[in-house]
Amino acid sequence: MNDSIRPEVERVLRELRPEADLATLPADADLREELDLDSMDFLNFVIGVHEATGVDIPEADYARVSTLQTCLDYLEQHRS
Amino acid sequence: MADFLMPSLGADMDAGRLVEWRVRPGDQVERGDIIATIETDKAAIDVEVWESGTVEALLVEEGTRVPVGTPLARIAAAALSAAGPEAPDQAQPVETSAAAPVEPPTTPREATAPPRPAPPEAVPQPAAAEAPSRERLRVTPLARVRAEELGVNLAGVRGTGPDGAITQADVERAGEGEPAAAISPSEAGPPAAAIEEPSETAAAETGATVGEQTEPRAATLRRAIAAAMSLSNRDIPHYYLSMAVDLSSTLAWLERTNQQRGVAERVLPSALFVRAVALATHEVPEMNGHYLDGQFRAAERAHVGFAVAVPGGGLIAPAILEADRKSLVEVMTALRELVSRARAGTLRSSELASPTITISSLGERGGIDTVYGIVNPPQVALVGVGSIVERPWAEGGMVGARRQVTLSLSGDHRVSDGHRGALFLAAIDRLLRDPERL
């Protein structure tokens, strides 16, 4: 189910962290810790995801998109 | 007629290397246009021109390192070709004093500035066949530098940055097959030794690079930071103050208002700090400006520098221009963009040269209580922002849990003292706790 969203999310992450090796990023790892994202980076991530998928993740839901897997699940659920 | 000089982009900068010309003789330029990419010890920077006119001649070849103040190009001012020999107000900061920080191009044009005339006919036109190829490639300044270091042809590199721009990482990927020990003409030993006089350019280009080692970018940046901070510690008699600020209701306000904002307009606490500091400088102006040639000059506007950690290590503090005039959302947008560009290596000269005060925020993780900052000369104050943490807070005989932050001020005793510093911190505190007015 995540097949179409995953490349989009990875593209957004790659723009933020061009040097990161996403292939080895565990799906259940905390994105902020694993990729050393600060709040500015994370906001840019949320904005990028919104542009790519149309899903607006409110601040209150940030905890639900903290890993690649939970983020993909969240986007799948909320995509209209 | 005016010479465009190698700008000074910080008190520690004594020279820069011209990486690439972005204009050619005959090109029309407008104030604020990017005309060259230069490399300092800190970063690769897109340099803006300070007056409109026509590029008459490029005086320095690409790849040459020259001292601050060296004429780089000759620009025929638009005013001169139209209004005769004496055009008003031609004195630009960058020309009158190479060491003085330049004003940003966003400063409203002076009322006396003459209208821009039609281009003079006698000016030679740029070679039409060559100009477009230069325009097509979007390349960050840092990527240009790396491409030169690694000998990578940019035309063959696929860009993955914003709008398909070629980033440093793209260049490094493309260069992976290349020999590892690329030799860079830019890193020929310590800055003083590496400066060549313009007249020796030809000799330097052919002979200076042989047998010298490439220094990692992070090491160059570290050396630049060390130079600036040594200068600061030597010249500036610092004093330090700190104050805990209760941010509970402000953060609750921010969360409420962010719920109503579109994702692209969401505001982070950093923007609150920038706005509060910018507005507080109006109350205590001796925190905002530059100390040069033995005297302090207060700045009219607050160009708030924001310290950004860059990939690979190091710190750079470009300015949010006119933060005292922008709305909170505008400051946030500018900050977001500035941090992205600082990390991607696409800063502009005005952003590096103009900060009038700096904020250093280590707030995010690690539970930092207090930042003991070092003033970034020629500025005279730095506001440190610690982590926002929930702590016991006593008020009105009651103790409750509040989200709070410790703000610190590093001030310059040549300009102010602890009493004024305390008023400044108190003003920031008051402004932060009244976020609707930020």
pLDDT one-digit tens code per residue, B92-132:
333 333 344 444 444 443 333 444 444 333 434 333 333 33
Residue with tokens 């350019």: B201
Catalytic residue, from B89, B282, B293, B413: name it.
B413
What values do phi and psi take at B393, rounded to 5?
A: -140, 125
pLDDT of residue B200: 35
pLDDT of residue B10: 75
Give the tens place of pLDDT for each residue, B30-71: 888 898 988 887 778 888 888 888 999 999 999 889 998 899
Catalytic residue, from B89, B282, B293, B417: name it.
B417
pLDDT of residue B346: 84
Annotate B65-86 with b (16+ C-beta within 10 A) or e (fewer). bbbbbbbbbbbbbbbbbeeeee
pLDDT of residue B268: 95
Give the tens place of pLDDT for each residue, B162-192: 667 777 777 777 776 543 333 333 333 333 3
Mean pLDDT is highest, among B161-170, B312-321, B362-371, for: B312-321
Which residue in A72, A77, A68, A73 sits closest to A28, CA to CA? A68
Q: How many CA atoms lie within 13 A of A76 on its CB side?
A: 12
Amino acid in position A46: V
Amino acid in position B250: T
**Strand pairing partners for B409?**
B241, B383
pLDDT of residue B316 exceeding 70, the answer is yes
pLDDT of residue B42: 76
pLDDT of residue B8: 84
* Number of helical H runs and strand E runs in chain A: 4, 0
Mutation target vs A (from B138, B263, B273, B368; most A CBs, 10 A cutoff):
B263
pLDDT of residue B12: 72
pLDDT of residue B162: 64
pTM over 0.80: no
Assembly ipTM: 0.88
Is B282 annotated as catalytic? no
Cis peptide leading into residue B378 (ω within 30°): yes
pLDDT of residue A3: 66
The mean predicted confidence, pLDDT, of chain B is 78
* Number of helical H runs and strand E runs in chain B: 13, 20
Is B413 annotated as catalytic? yes
**A79 vs B428: which has the higher pLDDT:** B428
Burial class (CB in 10 A: 0-12, 13-18, 19+), B367: exposed
pLDDT of residue B154 exceeding 70, the answer is yes
A residues 16-75 lying closer than 8 A (beta carbon) to B: 18-19, 38-40, 43-44, 46-47, 50, 56-60
Report the residue of chain A nearest B260, measured CA to CA.
A58
What does the pLDDT average to over B253-279?
A: 95
Nearest Cβ partner of B264 from A19, A40, A47? A47
pLDDT of residue B163: 64
| Antiparallel, parallel or unpaired: β B319-320 and B304-306 | antiparallel
pLDDT of residue A49 exceeding 90, the answer is yes
What does the pLDDT average to over B368-393?
A: 94
pLDDT of residue B237: 97
Instruction: Assess B157–A contact: CB distance below 8 Å, yes or no.
Output: no
pLDDT of residue B397: 96
CB B58 within 8 A of CB B73: yes
CB B68 within 8 A of CB B11: no
What does the pLDDT average to over A56-72?
A: 93
What does the alpha-carbon distance between residue A19 and residue B386 come to, in Å, rounded to a whole number? 28
Which residue in B74, B52, B66, B69 sits closest to B3, CA to CA? B74
Q: With an 8 Å Cβ cutoff, are A40 and B255 in contact?
A: no
Nearest Cβ partner of A19 from B161, B162, B311? B311
Query: Per the structure block, which two tokens stand in for B69?
Result: 């103040």
Report the residue of chain B nearest A61, measured CA to CA.
B259
Report the residue of chain A nearest B255, measured CA to CA.
A59
Instruction: Assess A3–B contact: CB distance below 8 Å, yes or no.
Output: no
Point out the least confidently predicted range of A39-43, A67-71, B342-346: B342-346
